Amino acid sequence: MSNSNHAAQAANQAQAGSYITKKDGVQLYYKDWGPKDGQVVTFSHGWPLNSDSWESQMLFLADKGYRVIAHDRRGHGRSSQPWEGNDMDHYADDLATVITTLDLKDVTLVGFSTGGGEVARYIGRHGTDRVKKAALISAVPPMMLMTEDYPGGLPIEVFDGLRTASLANRSQLYRDIASGPFFGFNRDGAKVSQGLIDSFWVQGMQAGHKNTYDCIAAFSATDFRTDLVAFDVPTLIVHGDDDQIVPIDASAHAAAKLVQNAELIVYPGAPHGLTDTHKDRLNQDLLAFLGK
């Protein structure tokens, strides 16, 4: 993006403290940790969470001298809860707003689950002029929904079930997800952490009801295959082979075939929420990837 174009876009945004207000009035909350001259890493979170879900990775990398930035997706956490625009195109454009407003360059984009879709769509829509590397962690691309030309996905009944449960009692839905498949706590011998369950629930209930409902379609039915083909930067893909939320065959294994020269690391036995359950290993893998 040219300086004149950047200036024009920045003029349409307003930055105040830890918030960026877009020209459509949506406020995006963000965290900016670590030294301002450090190599920049941005983090895009999963559903129905917010930037707090990245705190282990952000604290670790900031202590290593990296500048780490994460925003709450529109409709989630401390950001605005708009009625419209709860889709991947808007999510990607919001990430672009954070990057351009803060004038970030040579950024490593890291996305977890739905956030991996946000990263993929960002590259598909905005290119890699400001991007140095990308990392997809337990990420939803290429696509979660089974279709005629993507038979490896999950049947729509899975996502209709999430929508039904969300409307019936989303508080209970979040507790059920966190206490069961998200962290693998439903597996025999699992060490259950009530703290992780509570954190998931609190973050989910901070998000808007309409926003999280719409986001189910965004993370499940969005086709990221064209976006992944557009990746032209070093890319790390990390996934657990016991991911019950985003099964590895339809996601990481398929994505690694579409992203040029992607590095795939599979965590044996790891669940979807490996940013917490396997945070020490993930932190080291991210650090190694950043240093390459």
Measured distance CA(106)–CA(22) in Å, rounded: 23
- Given the residues 94, 214, 272, 285, select the one marked as catalytic: 272
Q: Is the peptide bond before 247 cis (omega within 30 degrees of 0)?
A: no
Catalytic residue (one of 44, 51, 79, 113): 113
| Dihedral (Cα; 254, 47, 277, 155), 10-degree rounding | -40
- Assess whether the previous peptide bond of 155 is cis (omega < 30° from 0): no
Residue 37 known to be catalytic: no
CA angle (219, 223, 227) in 5-degree steps: 105
94, 243, 276, 285: the active-site residue = 243
What's CA 223's distance to the chain center, in Å? 16
Active site residue 72: no
4 is catalytic: no
Pair 72, 44: CB distance under 8 Å: no
| Gap between the Cα atoms of 88 and 119, Å rounded | 10
Edge-first strand order for the sheet with 107-112 is 14-16, 19-21, 27-33, 67-71, 40-44, 107-112, 131-137, 235-240, 263-267
Compute the Cα dihedral for 231, 33, 239, 285 and give only its sign.
positive
Catalytic residues: 113, 243, 272
